[in-house]
Structure 1
Amino acid sequence: MTPTTIDARASRSTDFRVIGLVGLAHFVSHIYILALPPVFPFVRAEFGVSYTELGFVVAVFNIISALLQTPAGFLVDRTSARTVLVGGLLLGAASLALAAAAPVFLLLGLAFAALGLANTVYHPADYALLSNRVSPGRVSQAFSIHIFAGFIGTAITPATLVILASAYGWRIAFLAAALLGLVAAAAIMMFGEPLAGREAARAKAADASAPSAGDWRVLATWPVVLNLLFFMLIASVSVGTQNYGIVALEALWGASLSLATSAITVYLVLSAFAVLAGGWLAARTSRHDMVALIGLAASGLALIPIAFIDLNATLLIGLMAVSGFFNGVIQPSRDMIVRAVTPPGAFGRVFGFVTTGFNIGGVIAPPVFGYMMDAGTPASVIVGTALCSLAAIPVVLISVGSRRKPA
């Protein structure tokens, strides 16, 4: 066995450990994001509160995450991403434990505000670690597995928490989720040697011209701002399909609940597994913009016929499958586009800033699509979702074009 072979195996082993640990943290983060909504009825019955008050708690969680995610990114760049990530997991676990023990609704609200603070660390820390600690040839695949882990967390959370809450109570369900965060934090502390070290020091070692970790100017550059808009539009696509897809299909063509649910489920499942295919594809091309453009166009255009034609079940599910597949394929290339415009030493703050677009889109899109449903125009929900996907195409073109222009 040659030294080159040994080095390659060591590098692969280290990469897989980094990807696995960061993916575990992302999996937990998506469980924490959805911890409250599945148990709304249980919490509402115990505290005698309205759904509006419960919605306000969720809103506070998202507002805190949106406001503080970019500062968390600066903290990641300035210090150790591993330390920040472990701190976020521990704070998240403590917050859910506090919520589980809350004797009054106000304390539960404060606990979820703290959970929102914990949520700010995941994207900046995860992307800084994957960008800095994974071999360049595997970064796109690392991004795809990272996204897939989050999708799986989203997929299993509602049913799991409802089952636990039904059998043992919502407080036990929260404690079980808190325990999972402790396990993830312990795994990173015990097996996370490849994650150790300060991000700024690694960036300087890689590039002596790396900007200061405290420099805000990179966030005001045109490509970074456009990527923030890109993430907002993608978040709006998710809101349109996941939050309003079922009710829109029912109201538009009188689709049965089972058919509408099946169509959206197929969309979501194919999106999750297509992320892995997207990682494989992104590892074999440098034209991540072309992957994104083709995927956005196919995903958006596949939805248009659904809004105007009363399709049979096979065609409806088939078009939703096509849209979901291409929506998943673009995700790793989306992250590679952001990575390409990020200077060394700035992964935490740039990814923290652009992924705030998820929160902004999550705040703006729901009332807009909700208004469309209340106005009796469910077709506009589907068309609006498609247009958000298509509108991202010029954003990507301008972003990549501005990056290629000489300074």
Structure 2
Amino acid sequence: MLVSVYFAMYALFQLPAGFLADRVGQARLITLGTVVMGLGLVGASFASSYLFIAMGVAVSGLGGSVYHPAGMSLISDIESETTVGKAMGVHEVAGLLGNLLAPLMIGGVAALTGWRTGLRVAGIFGVLYAGVFAITTRTATQPTPAVSRSDPSSSGSPGSFRKRVFQAIRIPIALWVLGLVLAKFAFTLQTYGVRTYATSYAVVRTAMSTGMANGALGMFLAGGAITTLWFGSLADRYDRLHLITVMFLVAGILIGVTALIPGQPLVFVGWFFVLGMAVYATLPVVNTLISEYATQESSGSLFGIVQTASALGGVIGPALFGGLAEKTGLVVAYPAIAVVCGVACLGAFLTKQDIF
């Protein structure tokens, strides 16, 4: 329940966070959001009832929601066309390492001293880091006044309500926007589906213990970390749409082939390393492509839109494939995640289209 509260707030405020990033500056917003997130955790640690714990977690989710739209927008604005892919790759590797280390570090503190202390340590660390971040990003780019883009909504005519909304967030009404949204939504839908059920699927297919099966998930994330850095650099040198299309197809094929992999534990765990490399290859390329389409005055809004779709994919993916697994069994449902790659390829196709 508390995880749902956090991610609900996290998903709901991605778009407003991107909108604010274009107006108050990404670095300022990240600093503020990190402080709010930390204070929410500290507040939850002092809560005397479940309701107040949930309120603290909600505040923490609100603070955390600003990071991805503002952070990736900041990378997009300060990096050059020839380095932004590598920077996105490094950024995503850091995120994967955080996913691996945070449960061990904060969970370890909680195991030794109690969950309240664990939350306080995490919250205080966040507030302290916000101060360090504020100092080190004082020269970061500041919000830029809006400039006209080649879209009818920027002509000054009243237009439709839809056009006025898109003008307000400085994004044109365009098929490429829908394409980027579909690509990021499909990536997260696919990735969270694979990640959420990796351990259970390994247990079903190989009869491993749950502890050993967790190794499959660890190898999946390790493979993802390696390929994320590699393909970030490739995105600076090769056509990004071609890379996205090819790697989504490769990931889809490998997810489907998982059903044919022998059930020997070592082979299965090793296969998940390869699968992680294929699935995560598209992440830095998609983010670099978003950066390519963004302008400095609208990068926060664009990343806010796309990250909202990504957050929805993270919520829908586990629920969708979990429901399918209940009806067909995990052995059938898990390889079916490959179908999502078709949605991603459609997103790549739409991204090529002109503004309408």
Name the aligned partner's letter for residue 269 of structure 1.
A
Runs of at least 5 residues in structure 1 that lack an aligned partner in the other structure: 1-54
Segment drifting more, 80-89 vs 224-233 = 224-233
Pick from 378, 383, 394 the counterpart of residue 346 of structure 2.
394
Inter-CA distance 209–190: structure 2 relative to 1 (3 Å threshold): farther
5 Å-filtered alignment, 1:195-234, equals 195=140, 197=142, 199-201=143-145, 215-216=168-169, 218=171, 220-234=173-187
Whole-Å separation in 1 of the counterparts to 2:172 and 2:268: 41
Whole-Å separation in 1 of the counterparts to 2:150 and 2:248: 35
Report the number of matched residues: 344
Whole-Å separation in 2 of the counterparts to 1:370 and 1:208: 43
Write out the 4+ residue segments of structure 1 that deviate beyond 4 Å after TM superposition.
Answer: 207-214
In the alignment, structure 1 residue 245 sits paired with structure 2 residue 198: yes
1:51-70: CA deviations, max 9, x gaps? xxxx2x32222222222211
- Could you tell me how far 1:111 is from its partner in structure 2? 0.7
**C-alpha contact (below 8 Å) 1:339/1:347 kept by paired residues:** yes
In the alignment, structure 1 residue 368 sits paired with structure 2 residue 312: no
- Could you tell me how far 1:344 is from its partner in structure 2? 3.6
What is aligned with 1:45? none
What is aligned with 2:161? none
Whole-Å separation in 2 of the counterparts to 1:219 and 1:124: 18
Q: Secondary structure at the match of 2:168?
A: coil
Inter-CA distance 162–406: structure 2 relative to 1 (3 Å threshold): closer
TM-score (normalised: structure 2)? 0.88
What is aligned with 2:64? 119
1:125-161: CA deviations, max 9, x gaps? 1122111122332211111111111111111111222
1:261-282: CA deviations, max 9, x gaps? 2222211111012111112211
Name the aligned partner's letter for residue 114 of structure 1.
V
In the alignment, structure 1 residue 66 sits paired with structure 2 residue 11: yes
RMSD after superposition: 2.5
5 Å-filtered alignment, 1:11-160, equals 55=1, 57-160=2-105
In the alignment, structure 1 residue 325 sits paired with structure 2 residue 277: yes
Name the aligned partner's letter for residue 111 of structure 1.
G
What is aligned with 1:294? 246
Larger RCO: Structure 1 or Structure 2 (Cα < 8 Å, ≥ 6 residues apart)? Answer: 2
What is aligned with 1:257? 210
**C-alpha contact (below 8 Å) 2:78/2:141 kept by paired residues:** no
**C-alpha contact (below 8 Å) 2:248/2:279 kept by paired residues:** yes
Inter-CA distance 397–322: structure 2 relative to 1 (3 Å threshold): farther
Whole-Å separation in 1 of the counterparts to 2:254 and 2:212: 18
Inter-CA distance 196–258: structure 2 relative to 1 (3 Å threshold): same
Whole-Å separation in 2 of the counterparts to 1:406 and 1:153: 38
- Could you tell me how far 1:259 is from its partner in structure 2? 4.9
- Could you tell me how far 1:355 is from its partner in structure 2? 0.9
Whole-Å separation in 1 of the counterparts to 2:167 and 2:20: 9
1:197-245: CA deviations, max 9, x gaps? 3x224x76xx998979962462642211222222221112222222111
What is aligned with 1:347? 299
Q: Secondary structure at the match of 1:137?
A: coil
**C-alpha contact (below 8 Å) 1:100/1:171 kept by paired residues:** yes
**C-alpha contact (below 8 Å) 1:79/1:200 kept by paired residues:** no
Q: Secondary structure at the match of 1:343?
A: coil
**C-alpha contact (below 8 Å) 2:245/2:345 kept by paired residues:** yes
Whole-Å separation in 2 of the counterparts to 1:131 and 1:148: 17
Inter-CA distance 216–129: structure 2 relative to 1 (3 Å threshold): closer
1:13-71: CA deviations, max 9, x gaps? xxxxxxxxxxxxxxxxxxxxxxxxxxxxxxxxxxxxxxxxxx2x322222222222111
What is aligned with 1:266? 219
Q: Secondary structure at the match of 2:295?
A: coil
